């Protein structure tokens, strides 16, 4: 078993990674001082696959367990679903010390964390993330949220879990396209923080899609370490945490302009990373050869490199709608090398437009 410690000024917790965590889960819940009424939130896919098993583990640890399955998909990350969940946890008799468990991808993790942060002003939150994206991204860092009809993740909080259990065997039921979307973020960690890790992903991409447990546990653990390292220096996103936004400025614009239908998040971020690398080349920050190297790794990881049929002007104008654009200035994350980035809010418009032309 691999363990990654997330150390924050007011809170620390462990992320456990293995291909079977049953005993660890039982031990953790048995030894905790939680009230013995637990509630599991899953979605229609993850619930059907794993809810019974996790319920049994908690029962073995001495808990009375109830739960609720939301419909799979981003549309469930809403205030309406949150309202249903509040009613469910009240009816289940959860008190201030009762644990709530997120069993699912980022959608389940985000909304369950939001309920945990707000119900009775905060109850113990445990994550059992099931998608690769949730393993390496949404379950690390403590951002919880629901969407508003006017924008994604607008209603939320920072709320850290008590523990995260990453059971790699659950990835066997995850469709390959969802593996690829997680890889978008994993490649990002290599690019912003760790050149050797970037090469490791490049060398082992085929094994990832073959669900090789050793390779998966390596890349998940290293990704969690990198995200935890960045987040622990800047939990509330005032500075360094912004480097996690690499590829996301244009990625988010692509997602919005294609109505969140054509590309999923990791795919859009992949294209956004090509654009950010292109800008870095034009600003004379990196060697030309880094751009094709990034395109190549995306291809190996079954991620697109171009946004087909996207309109350049629409993407450009959309950049200014990003939540992270402050005072009309875009804070670009640019490459100095593979594994090293810096922030720059003075990229000329002409270079940004050239980069967009390149990726469409």
Active site residues: 121, 143, 185, 227, 237, 241, 245, 248, 252, 265
- Tell me the C-alpha distance between 1 and 260, whole Å: 36
Q: At what angle do helices 176-193 and 290-300 cross, to 10 degrees?
A: 150
Strand-pairing partners, residue 142, are none
Given a contact cutoff of 8 angstroms between Cβ atoms, the answer to whether 55 and 62 are in contact is no
- Tell me the C-alpha distance between 189 and 183, whole Å: 10
Helix (H) or strand (E) holding 90: helix 79-91
The residue to which tokens 């653990």 are assigned: 221
Q: Which is nearer to ligand NAD, 37 or 232 (CB)?
A: 232
- Tell me the C-alpha distance between 207 and 88, whole Å: 41
- Tell me the C-alpha distance between 262 and 122, whole Å: 36
Task: Find out whether 321 is annotated in a ligand binding site.
Answer: no
- Tell me the C-alpha distance between 27 and 192, whole Å: 36
User: Which residue is at the shortest CB distance from ligand NAD?
Assistant: 106
Q: How far is the CB of 13 from ligand NAD (least distance, A)?
A: 15
Q: How far is the CB of 152 from ligand NAD (least distance, A)?
A: 6
Task: Find out whether 52 is annotated in a ligand binding site.
Answer: no
Given a contact cutoff of 8 angstroms between Cβ atoms, the answer to whether 295 and 246 are in contact is no
Under the rule (CB under 6 A), what is the footprint of ligand NAD?
43, 45-46, 49, 72-74, 77, 104-108, 110, 130-131, 133-134, 137-138, 141, 143, 153, 170, 173-174, 178, 181
Q: How far is the CB of 104 from ligand NAD (least distance, A)?
A: 6
Tokens of 50: 């794993």
Helix (H) or strand (E) holding 64: strand 64-70
Q: Which is nearer to ligand NAD, 137 or 280 (CB)?
A: 137
- Tell me the C-alpha distance between 134 and 127, whole Å: 9
Q: How far is the CB of 79 from ligand NAD (least distance, A)?
A: 14
Q: Which is nearer to ligand NAD, 209 or 316 (CB)?
A: 209
Q: How far is the CB of 144 from ligand NAD (least distance, A)?
A: 6
Q: Which is nearer to ligand NAD, 157 or 351 (CB)?
A: 157
Task: Find out whether 80 is annotated in a ligand binding site.
Answer: no
Q: Which is nearer to ligand NAD, 178 or 194 (CB)?
A: 178
Q: Which is nearer to ligand NAD, 174 or 307 (CB)?
A: 174
Q: At what angle do helices 176-193 and 213-233 cross, to 10 degrees?
A: 50
Given a contact cutoff of 8 angstroms between Cβ atoms, the answer to whether 137 and 109 are in contact is no
Task: Find out whether 265 is annotated in a ligand binding site.
Answer: yes
- Tell me the C-alpha distance between 66 and 100, whole Å: 10
- Tell me the C-alpha distance between 325 and 311, whole Å: 21
Q: How far is the CB of 101 from ligand NAD (least distance, A)?
A: 14
- Tell me the C-alpha distance between 110 and 260, whole Å: 18
Task: Find out whether 190 is annotated in a ligand binding site.
Answer: no
Task: Find out whether 308 is annotated in a ligand binding site.
Answer: no
Q: Which is nearer to ligand NAD, 98 or 264 (CB)?
A: 264
Q: How far is the CB of 106 from ligand NAD (least distance, A)?
A: 2
Task: Find out whether 352 is annotated in a ligand binding site.
Answer: no
- Tell me the C-alpha distance between 312 and 318, whole Å: 10
Task: Find out whether 185 is annotated in a ligand binding site.
Answer: yes
Given a contact cutoff of 8 angstroms between Cβ atoms, the answer to whether 160 and 6 are in contact is yes
**Residues of the binding site for NAD(+):** 106-110, 130-131, 143, 152
**Residues of the binding site:** 106-110, 130-131, 143, 152, 185, 248, 265
**Residues of the binding site for Zn(2+):** 185, 248, 265
């Amino acid at each position: 078993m691999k363990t990654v410690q997330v150390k924050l000024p007011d809170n620390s917790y462990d992320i456990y990674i293995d291909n079977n965590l049953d005993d660890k889960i039982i031990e953790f819940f048995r030894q905790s001082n939680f009230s013995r009424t637990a509630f599991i939130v899953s979605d229609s896919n993850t619930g059907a696959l794993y809810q019974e098993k996790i319920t049994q583990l908690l029962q073995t640890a001495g808990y009375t367990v109830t739960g609720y399955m939301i419909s799979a998909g981003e549309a469930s990350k809403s205030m309406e679903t949150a309202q249903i969940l509040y009613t469910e946890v009240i009816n289940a008799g959860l008190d201030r010390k009762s644990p709530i468990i997120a069993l699912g991808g980022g959608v389940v993790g985000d909304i369950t964390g939001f309920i945990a942060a707000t119900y009775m002003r905060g109850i113990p939150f445990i994550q059992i993330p099931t998608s690769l994206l949730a393993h390496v991204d949404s379950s690390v860092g403590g951002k919880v949220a629901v969407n508003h009809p006017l924008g994604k993740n607008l209603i939320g909080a920072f709320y850290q879990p008590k523990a995260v259990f990453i059971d790699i065997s659950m990835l066997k039921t995850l469709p390959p396209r969802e593996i690829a979307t997680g890889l978008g973020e994993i490649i990002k960690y290599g690019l912003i923080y760790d050149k050797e890790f970037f090469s490791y992903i490049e060398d082992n991409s085929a094994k990832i899609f073959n669900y090789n447990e050793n390779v998966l546990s390596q890349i998940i653990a290293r990704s969690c370490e990198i995200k935890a390292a960045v987040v622990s220096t800047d939990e509330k996103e005032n500075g360094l945490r912004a480097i996690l936004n690499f590829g996301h400025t244009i990625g988010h614009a692509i997602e919005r302009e294609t109505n969140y239908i054509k590309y999923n998040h990791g795919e859009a971020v992949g294209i956004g990373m090509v654009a950010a690398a292109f800008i870095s080349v034009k600003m004379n920050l990196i060697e030309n050869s880094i751009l094709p190297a990034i395109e190549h790794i995306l291809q190996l990881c079954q991620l697109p490199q171009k946004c087909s049929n996207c309109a350049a002007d629409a993407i450009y104008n959309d950049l200014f709608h990003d939540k992270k654009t402050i005072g009309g200035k875009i804070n670009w994350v640019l490459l100095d090398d593979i594994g090293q980035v810096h922030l720059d809010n003075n990229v000329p418009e002409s270079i940004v437009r050239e980069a967009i032309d390149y990726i469409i």
